[in-house]
Structure 1
Amino acid sequence: MTKSQFAKRAGIFTAIALVVALVVTLGVGLYTVRRPLPTTDGSIRLSDFAAPVTITRDERSVPTITAETDADLMRAQGYVHAQDRFFEMDYRRHVTSGRLAELVGDVPEAIQADKVIRTLGWRRVAEQEWKLISQESRDLLTAYADGVNTYLKGREASELGVEYTVLGLSAGTPDIENWDPIDSLAWLKAMAWDLKNNFEDELTRAHLYAALGDLDRVQQLFPDYPIQDNAPIVAGPNAPTAPAVTSPARLSGERDSALGEYRDPTAAAAFASAKAAISAVPQLIGGGEGTGSNSFVISGAHTDTGKPILANDPHLGVSQPSVWHQVGLKCKQLSDSCTFDVSGFSFAGMPGVVIGHNHKIAWGLTNTGADVTDFFLERLSADGTAYQRGADEVPLTTRTEKLAVAGVEEPIELTVRETGHGPIVSDVLGLADVSALPVPAGSPSAGSNGYAVSLAWTALQPGATMDAVFAIDRATSAEEIAAAAAKFEVPAQNIVWASTDGDIGYVMPGKIPVRGTVSDAVVPADGTWPRPGWDAAYDWLDYLSGDQLPRVTNPEEGFVVAANQAIVAPGDRPFLGRDFDYGYRSQQLRGRISEDIAAGTPITTEMAEQYMLDDANPFAEKLLPAILRLDIEDPFIKEAIDELRTWQRDGLKQSADAPGAAYFASVWAHLVSGTFDDDLPDSIAISGGSRWLAVMTELIDDPQSSWWDDRTTINVRETRDEILTRALTNARYELTNVQGKEPGRWSWGDLHQFRPTHSLLGGADIPAPVRWLVNPAPVPASGGSSIVNATGWSPQLDKRGRGDYQVTTAPSMRMVVDLSDLDASSWVNLTGNSGHPASRHYTDQIEPWASGEYFPWPFSADAVAEAATQTLVIEPRE
């Protein structure tokens, strides 16, 4: 539920509009909106603190917290997070605990989200993790929660967020509960859910097979990683050795190896239903194809200072406010009782810094794309109480969840069933198309209702990732960063790092399942397709960890680029998965860095900043030759194609003011529609992700491929050039309708706008006064999908044949760390540090972010003091 469907309740539009109009008329609207703004200057006394704490804020209200103990530091961070972002925190904890309907009321999407999350058991896993993490981490989490609760004490909901005032008109003003340390741990499950990657690919393969009935055609839509063109993160001797894998013996009742017959399911409606259920779960970070991140680290041997430079810009879903909260956590003096000297990007609701640097080490994160999920087909007993394993039936584990709904007296009861692989998700997701996959002959019958589907996911097994967050914040050497990373189990991340001592490196942490080889599998048994749950040969055998995962320190090449591409050559280490980004961004970065190194140009922080803003379109370089050699007579179309030639001469920059960039984007949208719409079900969305670019890169060299043929034209077989011509024509008319008949006046930025919307109150169904309050004005954006400046968009066309080119994913922040002088580092957030619409810091970084600006990042005590515009001192209350 990403767009406030809660407001669809009867009469809510009128009620909110009237109340908003009333409070504005009475002159109290400003008071209502400004009431949640926190006190950020002066001195206050609070009983929970042991010693004075100083919180300075710079001109963008970025706080630096200085304390004498770790406990006070975390208390203060909890206090500051609650000051700036409490509604966001509260919304997140309702989502992660499957209690969204308690907050927003009787909304079907919210109830569906709660059912999915309760089935997966995010909160239950977090409760188990509390027992696994160290006592020190429990103490820090408790201190953080104490700080949040200190801020909440005595404050009404309307003092914590204007959202509560609006919600009160619909679902009733919610009771504000104290923050619990488990609320912070549960956030890690939301991170893992949004970044799980292969989940959607596995589901899509199953649905495509159900629709096409042809394994080869499905595989063509998931091409191999182009290792010959795009280098992996780690190569050669730095790649890990593949573990020896021996599949377990089959359980009694094993079937023969002959292939079963393909069953022709009608699964499109079921798949659409499953997608709707999955989409109901709010994307708190943003995930799926099209998201990603850039990171790189460059040795001091190639920089102007002789020390490393590190950069990172995670590409996540567009949200308001940004997912990140900038903060500095600094001990007045480092000691055994006070161990933090760190600054960077945090999540409101979780203590510590997730990405940033301390006084010795800088680090950045990107998603690995490792395969950490699998669907298992489960053959259930007739009464639905057991599942088959070999020739035996094993009782299902069941539990009953009660879902409370605001404004509804009786809770909804949900029965959750689990197998040894994981929860049965088909009870809440449908997934009939998955259960209709062909299975080897001799497999147990699915019965009239099809197989049930369970989900195995590493995030559903408790771990100690929270220990890793604190350990990384305090790491001071290559050995310590590797040891800390080893605890970071989910979500699986690439970590690039650099030290003030001059070392650089890469380490991949994560809990990665090992799958056995199944020689007679009907579809690949490598984790890319759902697996027969009744056969032990398909079970996960173990998990990779430690030295089995890739890492490199001070590589000979002198730099590392980790931008979601393959971690190692895919064929060499298949146990890491195969659904990686296809490497267009990573190779573009590698090319820029390599060229400057080869030219002997010392790399500066300013150059690193510009690397991340690179908006050249590498895919256009592959597609344009086929377009420009077409013999098109129509002068109206040729006039537009001339803009592509101009754009090519200008370097194929996807800049906001480029007419050729606008036309190429429209051509691309019409090209994928004209190529695939007649072959694929409506429920399969063609995204802007790199996979579809890889598909088209291979297809463009095969002008007679059957994919080009439009099945809706009888007795006509179209070829590549006919579909390209049609796309060029349709795009010309589309842009003429929306931007005028003169191609030279077209603008990519007018089509491709950054429109961050509030997660709950930002949708079109909300009354305009509220939308105006919580949604910032749109700004034109450069970049695009699978471009280093990765402002993703969807190429889907509407019924009128027009595209929606709005930014859907974006660099959620950008940072460049100068290890020679940490005060010379730079950063920028996506929106602003405040979560309060009445604060100027709600939106004060949007325009700079969109225009490619960076801000100074003060770190030393002197630099922090010089940058301070406000100072709040917390004194202990005697």
Structure 2
Amino acid sequence: MRFRTLVVSLSLGLMTCMTCMSHVGCNSTGDGIPEAPGPFGHTPKIDLRKQIERLDGPVDVMRDKNGVVHIYATTAPDAMRVQGYQLARDRTAQLELIRRLAEGRMAEVLGGLSPDLIDADISARTVGLHRVAKKMYDALPAESEAKKLLDAYADGISQFNARLNSENAEMAEALPESMSLLPLAAFEPWTGADVLAVARFQSQQLSFDVESEIAQSSFIAKWRATFNATATDARLKDRANLLAQYAAFKPIDTATVLPGFPNDGGHVQSQPIEIVPRPIAQMQVVPRAAARAPTPPAAFDAAKGFVSGLTTLKSFLGERPFTGSNNWVVAPSRTTSGHALLASDPHLTLSAPAVFWMVHLNVINASDPAQNLDVSGLAFPGIAGVILGYNKNVGWGATTANYDVSDVYSETLSGDASGVMFNGQSVPFEKIHETIKVQGQDPIEYDVLNVPHHGPVVPTIVEHKVVPPDPAKAVLSMRWTGMQPTNELAAVFGFMRAKNVEDARTAIRNFSVGAQNWVFADTNGDIFYSSQSQIPKRDKRAYTWDPNTFSGTLPCFVLPGDGTAEWTGEYLPEAYVPHVKNPSSGYIATANNDQVGVTLDGDPSNDKLPNGESFYVGGCNYDPGFREARIKQRIEAVGNKMTPEEMASIQADARSPLGAELTPKLLEALGRAEQERATPGSHPDLTAVVKNAAYDPALIAEVQDVLRRWAVEKDYEAAAGLNLDDNKLSTDPGEALASKATLIFNVWLVRMLGATFDDELGKLDFKSSPFDIRVALVNIVRSNDAVLFDDLGTDAVETRDERMVTSLLDALTFLKADPRAGAERNAWRWGAFHTLRFESLVPLWPSLSIPQGGDATFPRGFPRHGDGYNVDVATYSTGTRNLSQVNFSYSHGPTQRFVIEMDPAGPRARNALPGGAVWDDKDKHFRDEAELWRRNQNHAVPFTHDDVKAEAETRTLYSSSPPSK
């Protein structure tokens, strides 16, 4: 196995060259004749010259001291070709894994080691990103710039891959030794269609919610089958109508992106429904005129293998177990400099390597200025250009919009199972044959069954093979806007050359799939927001939802496939897709939350367009609103004195919104427990609790004091409490207090979730809820609904206070025994439990994690602040509520810490990635960015020629001519 050669240090060129009498940057051949410089100019010195085929001219690659690559070319295809080559060099294995994930080809190289990848491939082939990518590529005109750029980018990757097995002694690059299990033969040539498949894969990550719709619908079906009016157990009957509390759509905090959108007369008219809590006996299910047979449970069971495969597929690159992206833009009227400011921290999986790769593309072509580029920011490995970033005039950022653009249908099979019934007629399946190669095994062949008017049938996967649907059972099919050809790269290329926000607004009209909340700021001082996307209109019968009974049809759950809930063939007009330019507030913020308030009444489907049609954009998976509210609170508090530093400090905000919401209720319960201890019988529901041997009055008093002071002195800051350099206890009293309180609160929270919900989940045979039970807990704590607090596993009747105090006793017992906490309570620190490791994409390569496994200083990972729904989201999983099994670490967070000031004299950007530029643990840029990121710091990103020159670490000149000897 070969290793990357060390590049000659720039410091070796500090002496004066006696041939050309210049300092650093002399490019003399040694015979007195200076070589022609690359596009960057004569200085700094060229450290390495390399040959790439099919370049129009020389291309300079400057790597700065933070590892960021700056590419200078004279044609746009040259810039893209070298971007592909350089990315393949820095992120070799990541790039190949992404392509294989997108196209369903992982089992070909790793299926023998991980059979679950076979199911992931089946899921990917069924959705068919590779098929739609081929259609998109074939639709591009042969001489179009888009096709030329795609082909050039793919060719750059292909040239690098071809050299991995080359015997050429000058080929210094190779895979790190730790990746030896991945055969070099796996690195095959790329095509433009491969690039588009990866692009559509990213869109799938952001907008394809089929698996959640299946899981949530299955949960609801089981709830109704278990908790209903015919149940013989009165306690089961009492839960019949509590789904609205368990899985409510109404956000906890009502902050929205655009209150009252649109503000020019109210195009969208809301019809709020007041949901008044009533005793169970008075709740009645309203019969529906068009009652439909529910989806058979067997259909959900048959889909489990597909859902599991899809989860494996998406988890590699950023499945969204918790939303967490933020962005906001501030107008000049609110900044100290008088320039617009923008912040963006999109949240995906925190893996090694980072999801994104930073790059700067500069093209100057005097004969064809239309090719010119000067753009910097984030590239997604496998996608040409810059996805998020800035140019000389415009900066932009994005968060996921959470629009509902995918549907699942419950299909009734025709008699011979050769098709489905639709509008009373039999419609035959279309069959698409797929062959999946598997490492060390025979290929797997199967037919994707396609419902012509919907899409692929969800396959039944048994022991890593697809089995035909049972004629006696229903099947599920799926539809998604991303299954049709669109042209998002036109939007991306448009952003890169935009001269102002109006240019960006024009470009964004090409963004049809993978809806984002885009924010823009320009050097003119304008700010703009849009969530442009194809949002399908549906038959009005798709919206028979009743929030009181949590029943009816709603597109975010499985819909009937009989023809009554179809897409109409039209999309929501642009005028009604949330957007605004230069709002009177002077800022715009988004955080995966409800954009315009469609969920504030608890019903996302009852809003109307002026013509009476339904205005439905989604609402079942919005963020509960905590982050949006906090960002706005911080901006309002600063007023008109916003600075880049303040923008970055908001990104680092770790106030615990759940702590602020639930701690006062816990303290009230503890107060009543103490009253019961002092005056037995004053609170009978707590009598047994205060007599529990684990109830230590001195310890309870200590906890009360810590939690009260957490609120008053630290405003619920979720602090790590450990030094980030040596992992030792912080001696700062305030941080120690906040960290101890955060630890107690979160261990209590997990136990409280289990004490409240595990009995119902057990009855439903669900290990975890497909709905957010943290939000559900807030809902029922606020309402103090005794039914869900009562434990189905006991004969006693439990109350909210009893569950709260008992959960605290369990939490304290756990902490006293856990070695991470330590025997001394003053040393309890949240950061000892709440850690982060940037895990290698492939667990077989643990040395490529950050920190590596077995790290002496950080054996469990880096200590981190935050606990959930913070602006700097650090949400751990509560999939299990057994404290001995809970992993309080997390793996999902901001994939950049980007802040930019749009100064007309030149944009000033700062950023940090959760990992270095190069995925090779022997490289100096393997983890340097992560060290800044984990400290909530950032660094200046050089953009101007002089700044790049000043920050340059190495310079490589690429050309299609052999390097001079």
CA–CA distance in 2 between the matches of 1:180 and 1:399? 22
Indicate conservation of the 8 Å contact 1:517/1:526, yes or no: no
1:84–1:770 distance in 2 versus 1, CA, 3 Å: same
Mapped pair 1:485 → 2:508: yes
Q: CA deviation at 1:799?
A: 4.8
Select which of 137, 151, 167 maps to 1:142: 151
Per-residue CA shift, 1:808-827, capped at 9, x if unaligned? 21111110011116453210
1:146–1:102 distance in 2 versus 1, CA, 3 Å: same
5 Å matches for 1:101-180? Answer: 101-106=107-112, 107-133=114-140, 135-156=144-165, 159-162=173-176, 165-167=179-181, 174-180=185-191
Mapped pair 1:396 → 2:402: no
Secondary structure of 1:466 counterpart: helix
Which residue does 2:232 correspond to in 1? none
Mapped pair 1:576 → 2:643: no
Which residue does 1:318 correspond to in 2? 350
Which residue does 2:888 correspond to in 1? 805
Which residue does 1:365 correspond to in 2? 398
Which residue does 1:732 correspond to in 2? 812
Select which of 620, 625, 629 maps to 1:587: 629
Secondary structure of 1:153 counterpart: helix
Mapped pair 1:471 → 2:494: yes
CA–CA distance in 2 between the matches of 1:586 and 1:770? 35
Report how many residues are paired. 810
Indicate conservation of the 8 Å contact 1:70/1:337, yes or no: no
- Superposition CA RMSD, Å: 3.0
Which residue does 1:374 correspond to in 2? 407
Q: CA deviation at 1:529?
A: 1.5
Q: Quick check: 346-355 or 184-193, which moved more?
A: 184-193
Secondary structure of 1:187 counterpart: helix
CA–CA distance in 1 between the matches of 2:484 and 2:850? 44
Which residue does 1:220 correspond to in 2? 245
Q: CA deviation at 1:790?
A: 0.7
- One-letter code aligned to 1:206: S
CA–CA distance in 2 between the matches of 1:367 and 1:392? 39
CA–CA distance in 1 between the matches of 2:101 and 2:538? 32
Which residue does 1:418 correspond to in 2? 450
Secondary structure of 1:366 counterpart: strand
5 Å matches for 1:529-544? Answer: 529-544=557-572
Q: CA deviation at 1:590?
A: 0.3
1:810–1:740 distance in 2 versus 1, CA, 3 Å: same
CA–CA distance in 2 between the matches of 1:212 and 1:744? 44
1:743–1:396 distance in 2 versus 1, CA, 3 Å: same
CA–CA distance in 1 between the matches of 2:858 and 2:816? 28
Secondary structure of 2:262 counterpart: helix
- One-letter code aligned to 1:241: H
Structure 1: 5+ residue stretches without partners: 1-31, 245-255, 431-445
1:35–1:237 distance in 2 versus 1, CA, 3 Å: closer
CA–CA distance in 1 between the matches of 2:435 and 2:297? 34
Secondary structure of 1:841 counterpart: coil
- One-letter code aligned to 1:458: T
Q: CA deviation at 1:282?
A: 4.1
Indicate conservation of the 8 Å contact 1:508/1:549, yes or no: yes
Which residue does 2:644 correspond to in 1? 605
Indicate conservation of the 8 Å contact 2:119/2:461, yes or no: no
Which residue does 2:790 correspond to in 1? 709
- One-letter code aligned to 1:70: A
Mapped pair 1:241 → 2:267: yes
Q: CA deviation at 1:45?
A: 3.2
Indicate conservation of the 8 Å contact 1:238/1:550, yes or no: no
- One-letter code aligned to 2:742: A
Per-residue CA shift, 1:50-79, capped at 9, x if unaligned? 112111111121111111111111111111
Mapped pair 1:867 → 2:895: no
1:770–1:306 distance in 2 versus 1, CA, 3 Å: closer
CA–CA distance in 2 between the matches of 1:271 and 1:812? 32
Indicate conservation of the 8 Å contact 1:207/1:267, yes or no: no
1:456–1:161 distance in 2 versus 1, CA, 3 Å: same
Indicate conservation of the 8 Å contact 2:7/2:954, yes or no: no
TM-score by length of 2: 0.79
Secondary structure of 1:34 counterpart: coil
Select which of 720, 739, 743 maps to 1:656: 720
Which residue does 1:70 correspond to in 2? 76
Secondary structure of 1:329 counterpart: strand
- Larger C-alpha radius of gyration, 1 or 2? 2
Indicate conservation of the 8 Å contact 1:54/1:872, yes or no: yes
1:551–1:130 distance in 2 versus 1, CA, 3 Å: same
Mapped pair 1:643 → 2:738: no
Indicate conservation of the 8 Å contact 2:299/2:476, yes or no: no
Indicate conservation of the 8 Å contact 1:292/1:564, yes or no: yes
Select which of 315, 333, 345 maps to 1:283: 315
1:294–1:222 distance in 2 versus 1, CA, 3 Å: same
Secondary structure of 2:943 counterpart: coil
Select which of 594, 607, 612 maps to 1:566: 594
Q: CA deviation at 1:589?
A: 0.2
1:382–1:164 distance in 2 versus 1, CA, 3 Å: farther
CA–CA distance in 2 between the matches of 1:136 and 1:678? 59
1:763–1:638 distance in 2 versus 1, CA, 3 Å: farther
CA–CA distance in 1 between the matches of 2:766 and 2:306? 10
1:263–1:197 distance in 2 versus 1, CA, 3 Å: closer
Which residue does 2:202 correspond to in 1? 191
Per-residue CA shift, 1:448-494, capped at 9, x if unaligned? 74311001111111111111111111111222111111111121111
Secondary structure of 2:116 counterpart: helix
Q: CA deviation at 1:204?
A: 3.1
Select which of 630, 638, 653 maps to 1:614: 653
CA–CA distance in 1 between the matches of 2:947 and 2:573? 40
Identity of aligned residues (%): 27
Q: CA deviation at 1:162?
A: 2.9
CA–CA distance in 2 between the matches of 1:165 and 1:556? 54
5 Å matches for 1:75-94? Answer: 75-94=81-100
CA–CA distance in 1 between the matches of 2:244 and 2:216? 8
1:686–1:810 distance in 2 versus 1, CA, 3 Å: farther
- One-letter code aligned to 2:828: W
1:179–1:776 distance in 2 versus 1, CA, 3 Å: farther
TM-score by length of 1: 0.86
Indicate conservation of the 8 Å contact 1:35/1:159, yes or no: yes
Q: CA deviation at 1:41?
A: 3.6
Secondary structure of 1:717 counterpart: coil
Indicate conservation of the 8 Å contact 2:327/2:591, yes or no: yes
CA–CA distance in 1 between the matches of 2:806 and 2:252? 32
Structure 2: 5+ residue stretches without partners: 9-45, 167-171, 229-239, 271-287, 463-468, 599-603, 609-614, 675-695, 722-738
Which residue does 1:19 correspond to in 2? none
Q: CA deviation at 1:537?
A: 4.1
1:261–1:500 distance in 2 versus 1, CA, 3 Å: closer
Secondary structure of 1:208 counterpart: helix
Select which of 736, 743, 748 maps to 2:825: 743
Which residue does 2:220 correspond to in 1? 209
Secondary structure of 1:662 counterpart: helix
1:692–1:164 distance in 2 versus 1, CA, 3 Å: same
1:133–1:792 distance in 2 versus 1, CA, 3 Å: farther
5 Å matches for 1:827-846? Answer: 827-846=911-930
Which residue does 1:7 correspond to in 2? none
- One-letter code aligned to 2:635: I
Secondary structure of 1:784 counterpart: coil
Which residue does 2:837 correspond to in 1? 755
Q: CA deviation at 1:395?
A: 1.0
Secondary structure of 1:534 counterpart: coil
1:41–1:61 distance in 2 versus 1, CA, 3 Å: farther
- One-letter code aligned to 2:128: G
Indicate conservation of the 8 Å contact 1:782/1:791, yes or no: yes
CA–CA distance in 1 between the matches of 2:867 and 2:951? 34
